[in-house]
Structure 1
Amino acid sequence: MAINPLPLIRRVVTTHDDSGAAKVWIDEEVENKAPPGFSDGVSFGLAWTTNTSPADCQTPVDGKDLPIGELANTEGSVVRYVDMPPGHVSPMHRTLTLDYGFVLFGSVELSLPDGSRTPVKPGDLVVQRGTDHAWVNASETEWARMVYVLLPSKPIVVDGNELPPKSIHT
């Protein structure tokens, strides 16, 4: 397994003190972990999640400690970093979410079931609207990092049929 050369992820979370003044509550590095079943070096860093929408900005609970589903939260938001080693190809999957995916380092390709691949580079944004997709790091040498913001969506219905989610573990 290749060693990830990308910089550690830092999250800074603010809150209010007892008088209502803004202050930094959390300032720490985000733990990066391999998702179950993956051994090629890909890692996920969960930075924050909410379990309601609109969010409760007064909860004393650290958002990274809230339970979520496999990738998303059906009631709130998820912010996750994904580091992909050279040659990584994710399984084709679908979440029932609206995803904002930003490329921070390297470049990746958005792969769709029709075989199309759309290259995205640092600064690019992919708005993923509940469709089947996979991510490919086609580089032979360069790691890639994306950050995703996932928000719950209404079910996707095509021709009267509701499309189910597809796990990254199948």
Structure 2
Amino acid sequence: MPINPLPAIRRVVTSHDEEGNAKVWMDEEVENKSPPGFTDGVSFGLAWVTDSSPADCQTTVDGRTLPIGELTSEAGSVVRYVDMPPKHISPMHRTISLDYGFVLFGQLELSLPDGSKTLVKPGDVVVQRGTDHAWINPSDTEWARMVYVLLPSKPVVIEGKELPAKSIHK
């Protein structure tokens, strides 16, 4: 498995003290690990999860410990980093969510089932609205990182038929 050269992911979580003053509650590195079934070095780092919308900003629960589905939360938000090694191709998948994907490092191709590919670079955002898609790192040498904010959404319905989620696990 290739060694990931990208910098560690740090999360800084704020809160309030007893008098209502802002404070840093957590300042730590996010564990970045490969999901089951992936052997090429792709890794996920979970930064925060909420279990409701609107979110509870007074909870004393570390959001990273809240349960989620495969990738999303049915009731709240998920913030996840994904590091993709050179030549990585994700499976075609779909989530029942509205996803904001921001490119931080490298370049990626957003691949759709019709064969179209759209190159996205650092600073670009992809607004993924419940469509089938895959991610391709076209580089021979450069790793890529995206951070995603996933929000629950209504299912997409086409001609009276609800489009189902599709797993990233082949």
TM-score by length of 2: 0.99
* Structure 2: stretches of 5+ with no match in the other structure: none
What letter corresponds to residue 129 of structure 2 in structure 1?
Answer: R
Moved over 2 A (4+): none
* Structure 1: stretches of 5+ with no match in the other structure: none
SS in structure 2 of the partner of residue 28 of structure 1: strand
- Report the alpha carbon displacement of residue 132 of structure 1 after superposing the two structures with TM: 0.2
- Report the alpha carbon displacement of residue 140 of structure 1 after superposing the two structures with TM: 0.4
Identical aligned pairs, as a percentage? 78
Distance 1:51 1:39 in 2: 30
2:24 is the alignment partner of 1:24 = yes
SS in structure 2 of the partner of residue 48 of structure 1: strand
- Report the alpha carbon displacement of residue 37 of structure 1 after superposing the two structures with TM: 0.4
- Report the alpha carbon displacement of residue 155 of structure 1 after superposing the two structures with TM: 1.0
Residue deviations 1:144-166 (CA, integer Å, cap 9, x gap): 00000000001110010000000
Distance 1:164 1:84 in 2: 25
Partner of 1:54: 54
What letter corresponds to residue 127 of structure 1 in structure 2?
Answer: V
Partner of 2:114: 114
Partner of 2:92: 92
Matches within 5 A, 1:39-50: 39-50=39-50
Partner of 2:147: 147
How many residue pairs get aligned? The number is: 170
2:88 is the alignment partner of 1:81 = no
Q: CA RMSD in A?
A: 0.4
